[in-house]
Amino acid sequence: MKVRKVKFHFQDKYPMDEIEKKIDDQVYYLVPGADQASHYYYQKKHSYDELDNVSQQMFTRKNENHKTDINDKHHAHLKHLIPQELCEILIKQAQTDKSALAHPELMNKLLPLILNEETDKLFCSYFESEYSLLCYNFCESDPNEETPPYSNSWHCDGGPEKMLKILVYLNGYDEHHGNTKFMDIKATNKLKKAGFIFGDITKRAQDIHPLCLRENITPEISMYENIDAGDGLLFNQNKLAHIRKKPEKAPRHMLQMCFIQSPFHWRFTHDKILPPKSHLIGFEGAAEILLSHTNRQLNDNEAVVMFPASGNITSQPQLKLLLNNIFSDSHFSGEMFKRLTELDPNLAQINSVNILLDILKSSFKDSINWQGELGIENIQNLTQLANYETELVDSINRYIIKNKPIPEAMSWPNPTSDTAPSSKYQQQPFVLKHPIFDANTKIGSAGSCFAFEIARILQKQGFNYLVTERNDDPNSGIIIDGYTPGDKYARFSANYGILFNTPSFKQLAERAFAVKPTKKLLFQQSDGHWLDPYRENVMFCDHQAYLNDYQRHLDATRNALEQVEVFIITLGLNECWQFRDGSVMSRNPRFNTYPLVTHKTLTVQENIDNIQAFYDIIKQHNPDFKLIISVSPIPFMVTGHAKEKHVISANCHSKAVLRVAAEQLVHNNSDMYYLPSYEMVTECLKEPWAEDQRHVTKETVEQVVKLFRSIFEKTD
């Protein structure tokens, strides 16, 4: 038996005795006490004892935590972590470009599969806390490998005593006949005490039977043979002695993952604190990082700044926070805080925000030099002080009735109020008037069916509704739905038909002003008539009638848009059907149009861009053009999202998108205005709907026109 002094990374003070012991023909290298040195190195020096305590104290899911077999056995078989099809893809990727498997995005997709509900319960049960992934790697074991790795001998991994490894098998045991064998914890502890487990990794042994006999150890060896592709082995590689069984038939492909305890959920740790490494690493430093973040969070939670109901300044932290909110220059706000607390440490005088602002303004007055000037930095800080005071006054006045144009518009009408009972059915939902038209102003409109209802009432009430195109020739071969030749009231300013979606408005202007013509298309309907997909509800008896009308209609549309002074549009829906050249149908497709179109749902920004383009094109040719935007209250007839949404939910989404787009458009353009017809119909009228519960009554349209006149009509 030989004894020599050796040094390990976890024994940095004094060398330890390594005993070379020969039993039969086998030589074992034992380092008694190496297990205690390892315990000290990780648990004490690198703070894993502290991390374990803090993690358990901060664990908020204790009521979900239940003891499982892994707490006693320290290993488990996890079934179906990754689909077998995905395993095959990963193996192929490893064979072509293994570096791609190290990409963090891949692990972002795999982790939710592996850390499923069952795995999560096992981890929480074992750690008695949250946990986090420290590192991972993809590896391949070949039956013909020339130099066996150190894991082919019995060992435990150096590291904290609470850690877990998952080996996710990408191909099954039946294919490779390679696996990992485990020794029971009782036998492992005896081998640790004998000095075998944490010796030199280059001097490990595969055959430990003679050593076990000499030390009176009867190990229980276990191995899972029913492992399929996508299954995992979960075990504590520090507590259980284990050995890698070399694959016999084919290469074995695995994903190795190493986990430690954590005060935070694994997603938060993964994203914010300790992103896992894509290669196997040591455990040094990880606990310190997690504890440092924990201490910062606890300190932040303890530093609560409290504001009394009176709004008075009662503490120095409160004063400091206010100064940091006023000035972006932290150095300047710190100097001001120091100066103010030196003058009034108990805040007896500086006890309100108004007094603080007055003192700050006085300090700037005192900073003016003999030439009556302030330094550049002081000018910036003074500007921020002035802006803060303006914003503060504005914030305070937001919910004060005084100086509001219509005081009752601030609060939702409450018919049960004791002081000011009112009903929403008595309201016109607007505040500011925009007198932009009178009896002589040329008015036009376009949009959904709600738009031509408004057009009819405007004409009926004698407004100067501009009409540049009718269809009064019964032999024209053209049919305008809802209009009979000779009718008194036109449906629109020109016969462009119903426009439901915002790209159709853009197309209307692009076609009229020859910015971007569309293809000449006709689709036959079941009644034999032909339909232009860009002009809904306008039909032709034959293609010659369409050709005869084509340029005449574009000229009439352009003529209307060049003359009109106030133009009302109603936004109908945010779903549309788009041709592959980018143009869109004005409504829903017929059976014979489906081969040419795809369904699209428009975003807020797309709707904004479409109406802005419509407006900009017209404004170039008509500087007096003013646009009034409304959102049609008429709901969807049908949605293209029926696989995942009810038509009512889809309609709510559509109206919300259009309403936000309208708000932004009006905000961006001085000659755009909003008509709250949608709010009027859906909130302020008791019985707005016709029998079909989708269209509105004539009385409802009259109320909307009344609202329109209240907002936009000039009065003497």
Dist CA 448 CA 678 (whole Å)? 13
Which of these ranges, 63-67, 305-309, 435-439, has the smallest mean pLDDT? Answer: 63-67
Mean pLDDT, all residues of the chain: 89
Which of these ranges, 60-74, 94-108, 405-419, 668-682, has the smallest mean pLDDT? Answer: 60-74
Write out the two tokens for 256.
Answer: 């190795």
**Mean pLDDT, rounded, for 21-26:** 88
Strands 523-524 and 597-601, sheet pairing: unpaired
Which of these ranges, 20-29, 41-50, 61-70, 379-388, has the smallest mean pLDDT? Answer: 61-70
What is residue 412's predicted lDDT score, i.e. its pLDDT?
Answer: 87
Read off the pLDDT of residues 463-479 as tens digits, 9 standing for 90 and up.
999 999 999 999 999 99
Tell me the percentage of the chain whose pLDDT exceeds 70.
95
Give the full edge-to-edge strand order of the sheet including 566-571: 443-446, 566-571, 626-631, 672-674
Dist CA 90 CA 254 (whole Å)? 10
**Helix/strand/coil for 367:** coil
CB atoms < 10 A from the CB of 121, how many? 16
Q: Tell me which amino acid residue 599 is.
A: H
What is residue 42's predicted lDDT score, i.e. its pLDDT?
Answer: 93
Phi-psi region of 230 (alpha: psi -120 to 50; beta: other; left: phi over 0): left
What is residue 61's predicted lDDT score, i.e. its pLDDT?
Answer: 76
More confident: 372 or 252: 252
Residue 508, H or E segment? helix 502-512
**Mean pLDDT, rounded, for 536-549:** 94
What is residue 297's predicted lDDT score, i.e. its pLDDT?
Answer: 67
Dist CA 672 CA 571 (whole Å)? 14
**Helix/strand/coil for 552:** helix
What is residue 94's predicted lDDT score, i.e. its pLDDT?
Answer: 87
Tell me the percentage of the chain whose pLDDT exceeds 90.
59
**Mean pLDDT, rounded, for 249-276:** 92
Phi then psi dihedrals of residue 165, to 5 deg: -120, 140
> Does pLDDT of 512 surpass 70?
yes
Give the full edge-to-edge strand order of the sheet including 538-540: 478-480, 538-540, 530-531, 523-524
Residue 9: pLDDT band by 50, 70, 90 thresholds?
low
> Does pLDDT of 514 surpass 90?
yes
Q: Which of 489, 436, 485 is nearest to 462 (CA)?
A: 489
**Mean pLDDT, rounded, for 54-81:** 82
Which of these ranges, 3-12, 203-212, 313-322, 416-425, has the smallest mean pLDDT? Answer: 3-12
pTM over 0.75: no
Task: Name residues whose C-beta falls within 8 Å of residue 576's C-beta, 6 or more positions apart in sequence.
Answer: 500, 501, 503, 504, 584, 585, 599, 600, 602
What is residue 83's predicted lDDT score, i.e. its pLDDT?
Answer: 94
> Does pLDDT of 377 surpass 70?
no
Which of these ranges, 96-110, 159-173, 432-446, has the smallest mean pLDDT? Answer: 96-110
More confident: 511 or 272: 511
325-329, 552-556, 685-689, range with greatest mean pLDDT: 552-556
What is residue 71's predicted lDDT score, i.e. its pLDDT?
Answer: 87
Residue 375: pLDDT band by 50, 70, 90 thresholds?
low
What is residue 14's predicted lDDT score, i.e. its pLDDT?
Answer: 61
* b/e map 257-266, b = 16+ CB within 10 Å: bbbbbbbbeb
> Does pLDDT of 417 surpass 70?
yes
Which of these ranges, 19-28, 257-266, 302-311, 536-545, has the smallest mean pLDDT? Answer: 302-311
Phi then psi dihedrals of residue 615, to 5 deg: -65, -45
> Does pLDDT of 370 surpass 60?
no
Residue 11: pLDDT band by 50, 70, 90 thresholds?
low
Dist CA 660 CA 118 (whole Å)? 43
> Does pLDDT of 620 surpass 90?
yes
Dist CA 74 CA 131 (whole Å)? 16
Q: Which residues are paired to 8 by β-bridges?
A: 11
Q: Which of 673, 480, 482, 671 is nearest to 569 (CA)?
A: 673
80 near 230, Cβ under 8 Å? yes
37-46, 290-299, 354-363, 503-512, range with greatest mean pLDDT: 503-512
Dist CA 165 CA 182 (whole Å)? 13
What is residue 299's predicted lDDT score, i.e. its pLDDT?
Answer: 60
> Does pLDDT of 596 surpass 90?
yes
